[in-house]
Amino acid sequence: MAGTGAAGANTSAAGSAGAAVAGSGGTTAAGSGGAALAGSAGNSGASGASGSSGAGDASGAAGAAAGTSGNAAGAGGSSTAGASGGSAPASGTFPAVMDTSAKGPFTSVRVNNSGPGSAYTIFHPMQLAPNGALNPIVAWGNGGFTTPADYPLLPHLASHGFVVIASNNTLVTGPEVKSGIDWIIQQNSSTSSPFHEKLDIKKVAGVGYSNGGLATLDNADDMRLTTIVIISGANTNESSRTTNMPKLHTPIAYLCTADDASSGNCAADFAVVKVPAFYGVMKGSVHTSVTTLLGLGDDVIMTRLSGATTAWLRWQLMNDTTLKSFFVGSDCGLCKDTNWTVQPQKGLM
């Protein structure tokens, strides 16, 4: 089911009804001294109300420090957008968070025109390796006709401590995703790099949307990968499915939109997956709900996606085992969330 959706490419998972929309060809230039957006502290209470979001996004390598995250759920609180609870996680190497859909405790910095050939965008927390905790790596693949700047998910992940490298190519390929991984891992051993000995090179995720999901699956046999997240970017035909699915060697999460093409392709992949896997569909979403390109995105859906993706990556890459229950078991957090349709997990424990 090849599609022509705004974020799809030649073989994207976009639905056949979506019209292709050309986005900008590059990223927005970051200022040399980006201003910080300070968040205010939230209040905890018995009602479980969340505080306002914390550290904001700082564009450029020299953003000023922002405030810390202000979410604190009370005993009666609940969240339909991200993982939350009444007490802070007891495990994990990074600061505890109460709501993964809220901005994390770090200021997000965006670095344009970086990476191999200065053709990538990097999102990272301003404070690297906090208290000696090494930052996991996320290799991102854009949907067709989009750039990294079109995804609020990426600075959100950086605010939670992940270092994200994303090709600027609007039709990203598997080799480009791999080159990004090669480059960022090399930075960890370069004494001239700000990432020197700051990265956890044994904790690497491949995350991709639409055509970028296909580029991610192209690298599924890269043994450096620890986990994969596919966002409405599953294989679009049996030929690619036969080629890519046997490559998988890590746990995988399919977080998909509800349009027929996207959910259909995700379901077809999930039916034959042999590694531990999660599959959930965001109710009320369409293929373009997760990107801000030309105002096509849906803020509620983008927040929901950020919460689920962050929870999965914190569990898989940061050893935050308190978030395991968000995905595992018949009564898992997303299973009980009325905003999601979740299939029985495979092999997750």
Whether 304 is covered by a domain: the verdict is yes
Domain count, the chain: 1
- The arithmetic mean of pLDDT across residues 256-274, rounded, is 95
Whether 59 is covered by a domain: the verdict is no
pLDDT value at residue 301: 98
Summarize pLDDT for 10-62 with one digit per residue, the tens: 333 333 333 333 333 333 333 333 333 233 333 333 333 333 333 344 443 33
Whether 278 is covered by a domain: the verdict is yes
pLDDT at 5 over 80: no
| DSSP, residue by residue, 141-186 | EPPTT--GGG-THHHHHHHTT-EEEEE--TT--HHHHHHHHHHHHH
d(CA 122, CA 180): 10
pLDDT value at residue 261: 87
Q: Give me the phi and psi of 97, to 5 degrees please.
A: -130, 150
Summarize pLDDT for 311-329 with one digit per residue, the tens: 999 999 999 999 999 999 9
Whether 246 is covered by a domain: the verdict is yes
Would you place residue 83 in the very low, low, confident or very high pLDDT band (cuts 50, 70, 90)? low
Which residue has better confidence, 87 or 130?
130
pLDDT at 342 over 70: yes
Whether 30 is covered by a domain: the verdict is no
Would you place residue 93 in the very low, low, confident or very high pLDDT band (cuts 50, 70, 90)? confident
pLDDT value at residue 292: 97
Q: Domain containing 145 — which CATH number? A: 3.40.50.1820
pLDDT at 141 over 60: yes
Q: What is the extent of the structural domain holding 173?
A: 71-342
pLDDT value at residue 26: 36
Q: Hey, what's the torsion of the CAs at 56, 98, 346, 158, to 10 degrees?
A: 20
Whether 81 is covered by a domain: the verdict is yes
Which residue has better confidence, 148 or 24?
148
Mean pLDDT taken over the chain: 81
Which residue has better confidence, 46 or 282?
282
Whether 231 is covered by a domain: the verdict is yes
Whether 43 is covered by a domain: the verdict is no
pTM of the entire predicted model:
0.78
